[in-house]
Structure 1
């Protein structure tokens, strides 16, 4: 965590980034989807530097974000396949524009941190990293890129990733987990600035939502294999409690089959609205999160509603959950091992859980990001 960066400038006081008003600033993101945590980070950084030019590889057709300048790759069929586009991304970031900028800030989870929009002598390069590209550096994490036939191409891309990013002046990581990967793979240090979470919205639920009985366990996210939603259903059965599975994804049919075989009620909420998700958080006894994530915004949203988190003792949960105070962390993935922790949920204070979540607010992100840019961008 960045030290001494929590003070937010008072109204009317000079903003730390005012000195950049006369500078040419570029903000760079990978592909821009309709929804996603990395896209939200990019929006938040953009709000701090509203006059900056904003570049992306391409914008998905259902994304409505204005004023994004797309790369030449957006005019090719490669925009439809991230895997096919991956080998060409370093080239795209080196041929993005002939314009030159004084400061370039990338929001990177693939190759955006390799972008060049000016010489390393005249341009400052900062990069906020969601993760070094998992499909080339840690393919076993979620299975992408783990085909043995991709071993040689992966090594080539790893070498290019390191070689083409030597000009980056400073890195920020979204978690201690990602900071460790940056050190391991790129041999660089980074400050940690956790992503912004809209805790104010989730905490300020209508009274009817806040006073509903907490009767079920909740799992929320994208329904893909490494998110372990089948395990969430099995944990609920072991605990003898109903479970709500919210989200969407390609595993829906398989998960519905799992649900048919268990003895507890399983309710599917497909693509819940933000308002409905807030209702679901407030009505849950606990959010089950047995997954290894880089950071994990969902557990913070749940805690903003006073909902404890029960999940794995690894990754981002080590930063977002205070074990024994705002939830419980466990090393095992045996469904029966979760049951004693679920029986202890009444020991936890909802007020303590909600107050902890406010440390990850959008205001905290803005203050820390502003201080980092002002310091590292000089």
Structure 2
């Protein structure tokens, strides 16, 4: 639903002609419907502080942040190889085109894992250093690439973003666009870097900085940081949250019953 709110113009610019024709007339109705639905929610859980701010902005409601979980890669570390990696659906808002163009410009090897409607477009702009593996790899094969990559490129703006955490769980630094949930999972200078603008130039500068300075954390320390987003942590926090909210609800019922009794008396 984010295309109804702060991503409207970006989505409309990338939609087909029919969607562009229909969207302006439908947006007001969609916003009213969505706001009415949001008003019926008792409590909000956001998957990042970035989304908590969006909930506050558009719904005027507070929310509690519980980060999503990621399967931590416990495979033994291997020697890093001289290639960059990006993983995900090849759709326009993931901005894989930035990674392809930046690595082509710098002559750096890039491995792209994933399928989608942008594949032909990306292949057309890619140089000889860019390799497309498609989306048919097994989980084990993808984990192997995470382990061997020198760094993971994440040029999109996501609500949270699971793949940067998956990369860090393999001890791999992440070079991410400095907006969205990646700012909450990547520690600049330690587990990776943020680049400021969603442009080829900004990402290329970030890659060159990484090549020059590296990161402060070792592979082991990067993996340890990723445990902040483990499945066990998620289950614990969600359970504690539900128990706390249930206790609040029960207390509200007791208070209401007490108030009604006083009114009758």
TM range (shorter): 0.7 to 0.9
Shift of 1:311: 1.3
Where 1:197 maps in the other structure, the secondary structure is: coil
Question: Which residue is 1:246 aligned to?
Answer: 113
Where 1:293 maps in the other structure, the secondary structure is: coil
Q: Is the 8 A contact 1:193 1:368 kept in 2?
A: yes
**Structure 1 residues 18-167: aligned runs within 5 Å:** 133-137=1-5, 138-143=7-12, 147=20, 149-167=22-40
Over 3 Å counting, the alpha-carbon distance change for 1:336 and 1:196 in structure 2 is: closer
**Structure 1 residues 189-338: aligned runs within 5 Å:** 189-199=62-72, 202=73, 204-205=74-75, 207=76, 210-259=77-126, 262=127, 264-271=128-135, 272-332=137-197, 333=199, 334=201, 335-338=203-206
Shift of 1:163: 2.0
Question: Which residue is 2:243 aligned to?
Answer: 374
Question: Which residue is 1:352 aligned to?
Answer: 221
C-alpha distance in 2 between matches for 1:180 and 1:298: 22
Q: Is the 8 A contact 2:192 2:215 kept in 1?
A: no
Q: Is the 8 A contact 1:196 1:361 kept in 2?
A: yes
Shift of 1:224: 0.8
C-alpha distance in 2 between matches for 1:277 and 1:317: 20
Shift of 1:214: 2.0
Deviations 1:36-69 (A, max 9, x none): xxxxxxxxxxxxxxxxxxxxxxxxxxxxxxxxxx
C-alpha distance in 2 between matches for 1:268 and 1:301: 19
Where 1:222 maps in the other structure, the secondary structure is: coil
Runs of 4+ in 1 over 3 A off after TM superposition: 140-146
User: TM (normalized to structure 2)?
Assistant: 0.83
Deviations 1:106-154 (A, max 9, x none): xxxxxxxxxxxxxxxxxxxxxxxxxxx1132232354477726422311
Deviations 1:302-322 (A, max 9, x none): 000000000111101110000
Shift of 1:238: 3.5
Question: Which residue is 1:174 aligned to?
Answer: 47
Shift of 1:285: 0.5
C-alpha distance in 2 between matches for 1:164 and 1:347: 45
Over 3 Å counting, the alpha-carbon distance change for 1:165 and 1:233 in structure 2 is: closer
Q: Is the 8 A contact 1:292 1:315 kept in 2?
A: yes
Could you tell me which runs of 5 or more consecutive residues in structure 1 were left unpaired when the two chains were aligned.
1-132
Over 3 Å counting, the alpha-carbon distance change for 1:142 and 1:365 in structure 2 is: farther
Over 3 Å counting, the alpha-carbon distance change for 1:215 and 1:336 in structure 2 is: closer
Shift of 1:338: 2.3
Q: Is the 8 A contact 1:239 1:342 kept in 2?
A: no
Where 2:108 maps in the other structure, the secondary structure is: coil
C-alpha distance in 1 between matches for 2:237 and 2:49: 15
Over 3 Å counting, the alpha-carbon distance change for 1:134 and 1:346 in structure 2 is: closer
C-alpha distance in 1 between matches for 2:215 and 2:105: 18
CA RMSD of aligned residues (A): 1.9
Shift of 1:227: 1.1
Q: Is the 8 A contact 2:194 2:206 kept in 1?
A: no
C-alpha distance in 2 between matches for 1:290 and 1:363: 28
C-alpha distance in 2 between matches for 1:256 and 1:330: 24
Q: Which moved more, 1:164-173 or 1:181-190?
A: 164-173
Q: Is the 8 A contact 2:189 2:215 kept in 1?
A: no
Q: Which has the higher helix share?
A: 2
